[in-house]
Amino acid sequence: MAYVNIRERQVPFAVRYISDLLAYRHLAWNLVGSDLRARFRRSYLGVLWAVIQPLAFSLTIALVWGSLFQAQSYWSFAIYVFSGMIVWEYFASVVSVSQDALINAEGYLKQTRVPFFIFQMRTPLTSMVIFLLGAVGLAILMLSLQSLPSWGEHLLLIPLFPVILVFFGIPVATIMSIAGTQFRDIKYISQILIQALFFVSPVMLGREVLDRPELNFLSFVNPLIPLINMFRDPVVNGQLWDKTEVLTLSFWLAGLWVVSIAMAVRAGRKLIFAL
């Protein structure tokens, strides 16, 4: 029942995970670098697109929405959309790209005994860098509009957010990669779900809409609501995180990690036959 390379120490799962993570950290970062290079290679503006894309999108939306409904002032709405957009983009790309994470890594996985999770971390880490670039764009937009966040302890929460984002992204990517490898239908289903989710996430939707009592249940069902709000609160709104949202997201994180670890352990290396 067992493959044992005695050069590899016999250790518990968690220890093994950490030591593999350390052993292959170079690979993980280089895959991220390769993804980023591949993404922007052969384009004139290169990495600037990570800033331009959400900027152009949010300005367009703000222009259309702002003139249609005239509900909010044009520029502050642009900031609102931009800040929601980069978090949303992170989630959407993790879900859609990670389905193929193992399938695309076939070359590596069938050549040497590399742990699968290095490839499952690939998209969450790459998207993280894109998110940070987007955040730089947001900072520039806010600076140029002179609507900087107010001074206060909530600013301390800002550096925590990327960490949360990665801890959210990795289990999502793991689940999607395993499901995507076993069931190729996932691609179509997730496309539909992502589109649907977009309309109940506070990217373009004002917070006051989702806070209506009849829609309040959504903030427990859709983890993107607390996630996006927890980015906006300190950065845009200049306030601390909402306690209920922190709690909701914590439950989601715990659940996602439990499910993803269970799926990874259950599938094991047998997934290789499905590639």
Note the residues at the interface with other proteins (CB under 8 A): 1-7, 9-10, 23-24, 26-27, 30-31, 34, 37-38, 41, 106-114, 182-183, 185-186, 189, 268-270, 272-274
Give the 3-state secondary structure of residue 158: coil
What SS3 state is found at 59? helix
**Least distance (Å) from other proteins to the CB of residue 266?**
12
* Rounded least distance, CB 197 to other proteins, Å: 19
Amino acid at 243: K
Residue 229 buriedness (CB in 10 A; 0-12 / 13-18 / 19+): buried
What's the min distance (Å) between Cβ of 122 and other proteins?
12
Q: Considering beta carbons, is residue 106 or 242 the nearer one to other proteins?
A: 106
Between 113 and 243, name the residue whose CB sits nearer to other proteins: 113
Residue with tokens 């937009």: 141
**Whole-angstrom distance between the N-terminal and C-terminal Cα of the chain?**
22
Q: In angstroms, what is the minimal distance from the CB of 251 to other proteins? A: 24
- CA gap 122, 29 in Å, rounded: 8
Q: What angle do CA 121, 122, 127 make, to 5 degrees?
A: 105
Nearer to other proteins, 5 or 67 (CB): 5
Compute the distance between CA of residue 120 and CA of residue 173 in angstroms, rounded to an integer: 6
Shortest distance in whole angstroms from residue 45 CB to other proteins: 19
User: Dihedral angle at the C-alpha atoms of 105, 109, 114, 119, nearest 10 degrees?
Assistant: 20
- Per the structure block, which two tokens stand in for 1? 């029942």
Q: How far is the CB of 149 from other proteins (least distance, A)?
A: 38
- For 19, residues 6+ apart whose C-beta sits below 8 A from its C-beta are 9, 11
> Are 69 and 106 in contact, with CB atoms under 8 Å apart?
no
